Amino acid sequence: MTELHPDLRENVRLLGELLGQSIRQYPGQDCFDLIEEIRAAAKADRRQESGSGQRLIQLLSQLQDDQLLPVTRAFNQFLNLANLAEQYHGVRRKRGHQSDLMVESLGEVFERLQGKGISAAELHQRVRELRIEFVLTAHPTEVTRRTLILKYDEMSDCIARLDHDDLLPAEREEIIQRLRQLITEAWHTDEIRYERPTAVDEAKWGFAVIENSLWQALPRFLRSLDQALVAATGDGLPMDAAPIRMASWMGGDRDGNPNVTHEVSQQVFLLGRWMAADLYLRDIQALRAELSMWQASDELRAQVGDSREPYRTVLAGLRERLVKTRDWAEARINGEPADATGILFENSDLTEPLELCYRSLVDCGLETVANGPLLDTLRRAHTFGLPLIRLDIRQEASRHAEAVAEMVDYLELGDYLAWTEEERQRFLIRELQSRRPLIPRDWQPSEAVREVLATCEVVAGQTPEALGSYVISMASKPSDVLNVILLLRESGMKHPMRVVPLFETLDDLTGAPDAMAALFALDWYRGYCRDHQEVMIGYSDSAKDAGQMMAAWAQYQAQEQLTEVAGRYGIHLTLFHGRGGTVGRGGGPANRAILSQPPGSVNGSFRITEQGEMIRFKFGLPRLAEQSLTLYTTAVIEATLSPPPAPEPEWREAMDWLTERSLKAYREVVREHPDFVPYFRQATPEQALGKLALGSRPARRKPSGGVESLRAIPWIFAWTQMRMMLPSWLGSDVALAQAAEAGRLPLLKDMRARWPFFRTYVDMLEMVLAKSDLRIASYYEKTLVEPGLRPLGEDLRQRLAGCIEQVKALKERDTLLQDEPVFAHSLRVRNPYTDPLHYLQAELLRRDRESGEGGQVPEMVERALKVTMAGIAAGMRNTG
């Protein structure tokens, strides 16, 4: 059995000890002793010592209302500290290793590709043209408050400083004292948000990730990419290369979120410019100190005359314009008169003076200086630009159709919504080719349509670098895309913005290839998109609609067919993967997922959402961000140059056979079983999730309604909290069992061995099953579910146990996670801390429901309930 790495164990022990000291000070020794007794009982219970389970439940049920909060908070805090230690351990230097990152280095991957016969010229071209875009989304899964995140970041920094062999005792004590202060501050800080963050708050949180982490990580990553490329091909990255881009949905995603209006989007665009100007100002100040040289090229002299410090003169002019830009953005944000004279607006306003300095230094033989901090700033300028982040806009297809319909109706041209798809397309293309505006001056649209048009006007006022994609959810036909292009053009849009249909339900995915073929068949549209198209694949809604196995196969086939359709029309396709943090929403190790995509579908470009707490786990610290950028880049390059083989016909047939059964089994329970919705409501904390002020979006698309109206995130959050993990395995249990009965196991083993897609699917399923816990799920049911609904729970638990057996048989292993000992041990370490939170949560939900029916829930009970949700989310390392 693999133990934790000694350094990691020591860090976990140290953090736990310091937390214990804080608890002893407040609420006191008695509380500390009680917590230790609960922890010991939970450990004994996990070792299945006789009577230990009863002891644990007895201890927890005897807690007074005033003891509930400190006990739940202690376990929650410990789990957050354990995460922090693990996160740091994931990026600590591997001593004696050629790369100081814990992932395969760029150089190692380049070497392997060249070993497979990829020429230096092809490798260089592919890396130079690489386009990877991360889209930060504030899905309501980041439970931890920003205040605490900042404290945790500083704690990580302290652990890094302790990780040196040459510290003097006094230096070591000074760092531990700072850690003690931070842990005490965290212990005395309320971990629960009481107000939901606004969409603007979420956007600021996204900017903070850039400021605190990516601003340092990105130039360091590009430096290492440049060095690896020179070593492999003899030629480095061009100065203006921007293989990595950052985009965001925070403040732009209005699908089902009435809180995101055109004013919010405008505010976020301006905040981005303010933040960018502020960050570049800091860079320019530092560069003025660096570039004190007097030699300069004739080109630079032509601009600054005979100045003794030519570079400082150029940078002083840039600094002045950045200050004006920042002041202008601030005035606009505050709704005050703003002077736009002399501000930096187009990206070239920023990059040209910096490139002038760079060329001059190289011309004067000062290449070493040119390739220092100046090059880092230039690379930031080409990546983040003056807008800092590219804002995506997302809106539902029907909202655009309604806007066009109102216009058509006002102009007395007919009933647009009653027209056939062909009639709509003919009308839209005729209007798009016409030079006259369609919207009449005196027209008064309805409130909803006015909002759609106002958003288009805000978008039209931005530079191309400020815009990501216009994503259309529930898109299914060419007119859905053309509607948006027409509305943007009518609002004054001068350059073609990427318009991206999102296919997310099972029916959408199945229809996607035909829908795109119909769009590509329009000559006008191919000219508009300049032979480049992005298509978004939704992972969460398809899994909620059809079950995880069916959804994964439908996504794979849709991507395969979309790649083929784009190839037929000579269009470069970029797939935008709308993945979540959990397996039920397409999450899991990124490089494995990318390397198991259909061959040809990762063609040098890749776009992916990073959601909620996963942003912190992947990009929260500079070294962590550098590691994540390396991981994604190597996977995208490898999937492009050395894609996996196409599945063999009998594998496809086997997937069709499996998914036909998994879909039926999933829907029979989720859609058709009369007890399912009441069981779900009673057995999980779904009804109480609204109490957590997680994000700016409502948990439901429609206030009333069953499972289908619930967003994918709370749907998964609720099942994760009680450890049934149902969305990720339901349906697979039946399919795998029937495959074994039909003698198909040897074929499935062959698929697992030779087909990355199926291997990744089985590994992700195993990971989720390892997080499930039959005893805990059974305890929730016993505590919360009325007797008449329990037979369904009993059946589901038996099916979960059966699914675990099927996966072990398929992998030929005695236990789950035998090939992932570190992950398995990490789960075991967390159990004694998450178990008490689960048992307490069930008890608190019972009290909450009982008092909720006839009176006021005590505040301590409600607060403790929220803390258990946050703590379990931390223990599981993901929420939704």
712-722 tens-digit pLDDT: 778 888 999 99
Of 529, 524, 522, 523, nearest to 500 by C-alpha is 529
Contact present, 504 and 541 (Cβ < 8 Å): yes
Within a 10 A sphere around the Cβ of 705, how many other Cβ atoms? 10
Strands (E), 370-473: 390-396, 467-473
pLDDT at 583: 46
Radius of gyration of the chain (CA): 28
Query: Distance between CA 526 and CA 524 in Å, rounded?
Result: 6
Task: Using pLDDT thresholds of 50, 70 and 90, give the confidence band for residue 6.
Answer: confident
What number of helices (H) and strands (E) belong to the chain? Answer: 38, 8
817: Cα within 13 Å, side-chain hemisphere? 17
Query: Distance between CA 849 and CA 784 in Å, rounded?
Result: 9
| Token pair belonging to 757 | 């897609």
- pLDDT tens per residue across span 500-524: 999 989 999 999 999 999 999 999 9
Would you call 701 helix, strand, or coil by DSSP?
coil
Higher pLDDT, 880 or 635: 635
Q: Which of 398-412, 738-752, 824-838 has the lowest mean pLDDT?
A: 824-838
Q: Tell me, yes or no, if 139 is annotated catalytic.
A: yes
Question: Among 89, 400, 544, 811, which one carries the catalytic annotation?
Answer: 544
Kindly give the pairing relationship between strand 390-396 and strand 498-503: unpaired
Going by C-beta distance under 8 Å and a sequence separation of 6 or more, which residues neighbour residue 480?
A: 397, 400, 401, 472, 501
pLDDT at 146: 78
pLDDT at 5: 79
Query: For residue 590, which amino acid is it?
Result: A
Of 765, 757, 760, nearest to 557 by C-alpha is 757
pLDDT at 826: 85
Would you call 307 helix, strand, or coil by DSSP?
coil
| Token pair belonging to 772 | 């499930």
Question: Among 139, 262, 618, 866, which one carries the catalytic annotation?
Answer: 139
What is residue 682's DSSP assignment?
H
Contact present, 238 and 126 (Cβ < 8 Å): no
Query: For residue 831, which amino acid is it?
Result: N
| Token pair belonging to 301 | 């002299």
392: Cα within 13 Å, side-chain hemisphere? 33
pLDDT of 94 above 60: no
pLDDT at 464: 96
As a whole number, mean pLDDT of residues 9-19 equals: 95
Contact present, 253 and 260 (Cβ < 8 Å): yes
Q: Quick check: bond before 27 cis, omega within 30? A: yes
| Token pair belonging to 38 | 């609960």
Would you call 723 helix, strand, or coil by DSSP?
coil
pLDDT at 257: 87
Q: How far is CA 399 from the centre of its chain?
A: 26
pLDDT at 269: 98
What is residue 393's DSSP assignment?
E
| Token pair belonging to 749 | 């083993």
Query: Distance between CA 820 and CA 619 in Å, rounded?
Result: 23
As a whole number, mean pLDDT of residues 678-686 equals: 95
Query: Distance between CA 594 and CA 30 in Å, rounded?
Result: 51
Contact present, 683 and 722 (Cβ < 8 Å): yes
Task: Report the percent of the chain where pLDDT is more than 90.
Answer: 78
pLDDT of 587 above 70: no
What is the sign, positive or negative, of the torsion defined by CA atoms of 206, 212, 214, 219? positive
pLDDT at 141: 46
Q: DSSP letters along 152-176, please?
A: HHHHHHHHHHH--TT--HHHHHHHH
Q: Please write down the HEC assignment for all residues of 414-483.
A: CCHHHCCHHHHHHHHHHHHHCCCCCCCCCCCCCHHHHHHHHHHHHHHCCCHHHEEEEEEECCCCHHHHHH
| Token pair belonging to 828 | 């075991």
pLDDT of 96 above 80: no
Q: State the pTM of this model.
A: 0.94
| Token pair belonging to 45 | 């219970």
Q: Tell me, yes or no, if 664 is annotated catalytic.
A: no
Going by C-beta distance under 8 Å and a sequence separation of 6 or more, which residues neighbour residue 880?
A: 139, 140, 141, 580, 581, 582, 585, 612, 712, 713, 714, 715, 716, 717, 720
Of 714, 629, 690, nearest to 106 by C-alpha is 629
Query: For residue 868, which amino acid is it?
Result: T
Going by C-beta distance under 8 Å and a sequence separation of 6 or more, which residues neighbour residue 35?
A: 23, 70, 71, 74, 75
pLDDT at 877: 75
Contact present, 194 and 355 (Cβ < 8 Å): no
- pLDDT tens per residue across span 838-878: 999 999 999 888 886 656 778 888 889 989 998 998 888 75
pLDDT at 611: 83
Q: Please write down the HEC assignment for all residues of 181-231.
A: HHHHHHHCCCCCCCCCCCHHHHHHHHHHHHHHHHHHHHHHHHHHHHHHHHH
Bridge partner list, 535 = 575
Query: Distance between CA 869 and CA 691 in Å, rounded?
Result: 10
End-to-end CA distance of the chain: 30
Lookup result for tokens 């976020």: 268
Going by C-beta distance under 8 Å and a sequence separation of 6 or more, which residues neighbour residue 859?
A: none
Would you call 51 helix, strand, or coil by DSSP?
coil
Q: What length does the chain have?
A: 880
Q: Which of 266-270, 701-705, 757-761, 768-772 has the lowest mean pLDDT?
A: 701-705
- Looking at every residue in the chain, the average pLDDT score rounds to 92
Of 136, 326, 107, 330, nearest to 229 by C-alpha is 107
pLDDT at 95: 43
| Token pair belonging to 622 | 């500079």
Query: For residue 438, which amino acid is it?
Result: L
Contacts 24+ apart (CB under 8 A), 63-68: 63/840, 65/858, 65/860, 65/861, 66/860, 67/31, 67/34, 68/840, 68/844, 68/860, 68/861, 68/864
For 570, list phi and psi in degrees, rounded to 5: 65, 35
pLDDT of 696 above 80: no
As a whole number, mean pLDDT of residues 624-639 equals: 94
pLDDT of 709 above 60: yes
pLDDT at 193: 77
| Token pair belonging to 212 | 């605190």
What is residue 700's DSSP assignment?
B
For 168, list phi and psi in degrees, rounded to 5: -75, 155
739: Cα within 13 Å, side-chain hemisphere? 28
Task: Using pLDDT thresholds of 50, 70 and 90, give the confidence band for residue 441.
Answer: confident
- pLDDT tens per residue across span 423-432: 999 999 999 9
